[in-house]
């Protein structure tokens, strides 16, 4: 969202920045044009000022060379120069022998050697002395006049009419440079950006240069330059803050509330948050209405499940009672049996009904927690029931149980119960005074599997055992092992039966 806002406002920021840069460029061009006008105007003023002085000096030196000058002519020239230069101009007239004919009363500035007075140059710069010297030679070449102009006079003459801040003026002639204004410090000058323009003065080899200095790039100037970008970033930040406060944070809170929702709860996602966005408020109210409807359905489903559990409990209770009634009827018929063999047949049937009843009772006991049938309690109860219904001579038949805390499904518990019933009955008939060990332990190499072992001396190979297995028990044991989908191993030498059964995790 922030990137979208930033990109949306970026064209406006770029346009403002381009406009600001264009304004700065326009200001630079205007300042450069103003500087060009100023340096041209100053060069013309200086040229005109020097030309008028040279005209007066030329008249004087030519009159002296022609011997037509009167005694007051030098005084008139001095008065003219003094009034024209405001007392800062001095002049000196010499002949070829070096004799000074007339001039200002002040001492001549150092800088031009006597043998260089008649050089052909009309003007020369004296940077060390700080003067501009104008030279005028008479027509016959015998008289020369030297006029000296100080920095103060040159600065006053070249002062432009336009107001330019931080300007610097200098005259350059070849390799010599005379700074009319104060020479800038190199360290101070490095902090500024300079703009320089030049114009010809007096003669082609002398140039007037005017330099203006822009103020340094201070924080305020940089801020004004990048103000459009700052405004663009501020607009994007304010937009992000507003969107975050009004939209994103309520949506994030709404998402967290929905993510933490548990069935049966009533969602109140905007209970601790207020937002003027009516769409988000409506969305929160919709979630609340949906959660209320879900909670109502959960309550109805819980009530229906409880009703179903009660019905299931009632069905199991009636099945258990029916099995008990069947066992009681078989017991009554066994008592009225005429022969011993008929009584034993009734007792055998009763033991199998009791085994089924034990499985059903244990399954019902574990049904509430969906753990399946507990193996340890199933074997213990089944062993006790079989001993109680055993023949009289086998009432002392001992059964030892070693079992892990395992659970099996009802589909496995029924054939296991019948398998144990068949083997215990077979052992009781073969040797009523023997003992039996029943052990069941989980298989460490395979999850969800356990090994059931029944060990008894009464199950060892014998002629009677072979007859019983062949006539009846062998077929039943084979059928039960098929129901358990596992082979039933038999060690006739030790009387061991073993089979692997499936357990619940």
Euclidean distance between CA atoms 199 and 170, whole angstroms: 11
Q: Are 126 and 226 within one domain? A: no
Q: Are 294 and 347 within one domain? A: no
Q: Are 229 and 363 within one domain? A: no
Q: What is the SS3 assignment for 501?
A: strand
Q: Are 394 and 498 within one domain? A: yes
Q: Are 98 and 73 within one domain? A: yes
Euclidean distance between CA atoms 408 and 483, whole angstroms: 14
Say what the pLDDT of residue 440 is.
93
Q: 169 is written with which tokens?
A: 């003026």
Euclidean distance between CA atoms 424 and 495, whole angstroms: 12
Picking from 216, 232, 265, the residue at the C-terminal end of a domain is: 216
The one-character DSSP state at 62 is: H
Q: What is the SS3 assignment for 275?
A: coil
Domain assignment of residue 318, yes or no: no
Which domain covers residue 386, as residue numbers? 337-502
Q: Are 438 and 366 within one domain? A: yes
Q: What is the CATH number of the domain that holds 471?
A: 3.30.565.10
Q: Please enumerate, as own/partner, the contacts of 324-331 that have beta carbons within 8 Å and a separation of 24 or more.
A: 324/357, 326/353, 327/353, 327/354, 327/357
Task: Give Cβ neighbours of residue 443 (< 8 Å, ≥ 6 apart).
Answer: 449, 450, 451, 500
Place of tokens 């501020």: 234
Kindly report the pTM of this predicted structure: 0.45
Domain assignment of residue 235, yes or no: yes
Say what the pLDDT of residue 361 is.
66
Q: 342 is written with which tokens?
A: 């008929």
Euclidean distance between CA atoms 58 and 62, whole angstroms: 6
Q: Are 174 and 243 within one domain? A: no
Q: In what order do the strands lie in the sheet with 143-150?
A: 100-103, 89-95, 143-150, 131-137, 123-126
Task: Give Cβ neighbours of residue 78 (< 8 Å, ≥ 6 apart).
Answer: 91, 103, 104
Euclidean distance between CA atoms 459 and 422, whole angstroms: 11
Place of tokens 């700052």: 230
Domain assignment of residue 324, yes or no: no
Say what the pLDDT of residue 24 is.
72
Domain assignment of residue 330, yes or no: no
Predicted confidence pLDDT, tens digits, the chain (505 residues)? 567 766 766 777 677 767 777 777 787 777 778 878 888 888 888 888 888 888 888 888 888 888 887 878 888 888 888 776 666 678 899 988 888 888 888 888 887 888 888 887 788 888 888 888 888 888 888 899 988 888 888 888 888 766 566 678 888 888 888 888 876 555 555 556 677 888 888 666 788 888 877 666 556 666 666 777 777 777 777 877 777 777 777 777 777 777 777 776 777 766 666 666 677 777 777 877 887 888 888 888 888 888 887 787 777 767 766 766 676 666 665 666 667 677 667 677 777 777 777 776 666 655 555 567 888 888 888 888 877 777 777 777 888 999 988 888 878 888 888 888 888 888 888 888 889 999 999 887 778 899 999 999 999 988 888 888 888 888 888 888 888 889 999 998 999 999 999 988 6
Q: Are 100 and 28 within one domain? A: yes
Q: How far is CA 167 from the centre of its chain?
A: 53
State the Cα angle at 138 between 133 and 141, rounded to 5°.
100
Q: What is the SS3 assignment for 333?
A: helix
Domain assignment of residue 464, yes or no: yes
Domain assignment of residue 424, yes or no: yes
Domain tally, the chain:
3
Q: Are 208 and 114 within one domain? A: yes
Neighbours of 234 (CB within 10 A): 12
Q: Are 11 and 123 within one domain? A: yes
Euclidean distance between CA atoms 47 and 55, whole angstroms: 12
Helix residue ranges, H only, 94-150? none
Euclidean distance between CA atoms 151 and 131, whole angstroms: 6
Cα distance between the two ends of the chain: 50
Domain assignment of residue 326, yes or no: no
Task: Give Cβ neighbours of residue 202 (< 8 Å, ≥ 6 apart).
Answer: 46, 47, 50, 122, 123, 134
Euclidean distance between CA atoms 90 and 57, whole angstroms: 12
Q: Are 31 and 96 within one domain? A: yes
Q: Are 48 and 177 within one domain? A: yes
């Amino acid at each position: 969202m922030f990137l979208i806002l930033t990109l949306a406002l970026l064209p406006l920021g770029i346009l403002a920045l381009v406009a600001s840069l264009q304004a700065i460029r326009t200001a630079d061009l205007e300042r450069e044009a103003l500087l060009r006008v100023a340096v041209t105007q100053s060069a013309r003023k200086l040229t005109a000022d020097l030309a008028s002085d040279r005209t007066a000096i030329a008249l004087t030196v030519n009159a002296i060379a022609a011997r037509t000058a009167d005694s007051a002519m030098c005084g008139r020239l001095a008065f003219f120069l003094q009034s024209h230069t405001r007392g800062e101009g001095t002049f000196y007239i010499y002949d070829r022998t070096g004799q000074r004919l007339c001039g200002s009363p002040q001492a001549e500035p150092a800088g031009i050697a006597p043998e260089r007075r008649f050089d052909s140059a009309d003007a020369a710069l004296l940077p060390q002395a700080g003067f501009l010297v104008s030279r005028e030679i008479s027509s016959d070449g015998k008289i020369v006049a030297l006029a000296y102009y100080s920095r103060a006079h040159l600065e006053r003459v070249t002062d432009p009419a336009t107001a330019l801040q931080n300007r610097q003026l200098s005259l350059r002639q070849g390799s010599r440079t005379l700074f009319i204004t104060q020479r800038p410090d190199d360290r101070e000058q490095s902090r500024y950006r300079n703009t320089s323009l030049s114009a010809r003065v007096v003669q082609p080899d002398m140039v007037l240069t005017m330099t203006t200095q822009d103020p340094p790039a201070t924080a305020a100037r940089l801020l004004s330059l990048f103000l459009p970008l700052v405004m663009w970033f501020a607009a994007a930040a304010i937009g992000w803050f507003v969107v975050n406060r009004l939209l994103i944070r309520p949506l994030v809170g709404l998402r967290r509330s929905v993510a933490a929702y548990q069935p049966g709860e009533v969602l109140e996602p905007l209970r601790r948050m207020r937002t003027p966005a009516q769409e988000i408020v409506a969305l929160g109210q919709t979630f609340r209405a949906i959660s209320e409807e879900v909670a109502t359905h959960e309550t109805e489903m819980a009530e229906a499940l409880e009703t179903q559990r009660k019905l299931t409990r009632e069905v199991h209770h009636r099945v258990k009672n029916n099995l008990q009634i069947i066992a009681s009827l078989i017991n009554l018929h066994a008592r009225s049996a005429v022969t011993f063999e008929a009584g034993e047949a009734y007792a055998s049937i009763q033991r199998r009904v009791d085994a089924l009843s034990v499985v059903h009772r244990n399954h019902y006991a574990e049904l509430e927690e969906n753990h399946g049938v507990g193996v340890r309690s199933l074997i213990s109860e089944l062993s006790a029931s079989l001993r109680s219904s055993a023949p009289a001579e086998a009432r002392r038949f001992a059964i030892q149980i070693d079992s892990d805390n395992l659970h099996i499904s009802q589909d496995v518990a029924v054939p296991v119960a019948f398998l144990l019933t068949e083997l215990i009955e077979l052992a009781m008939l073969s040797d009523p005074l023997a003992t039996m060990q029943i052990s069941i332990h989980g298989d460490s190499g395979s999850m969800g599997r356990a090994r059931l072992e029944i060990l008894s001396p009464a199950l060892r190979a014998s002629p009677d055992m072979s007859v019983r297995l062949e006539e009846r028990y062998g077929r039943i044991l084979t059928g039960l092992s098929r129901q358990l989908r596992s082979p039933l191993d038999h060690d006739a030498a030790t009387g061991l039966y073993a089979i692997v059964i499936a357990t619940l995790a």
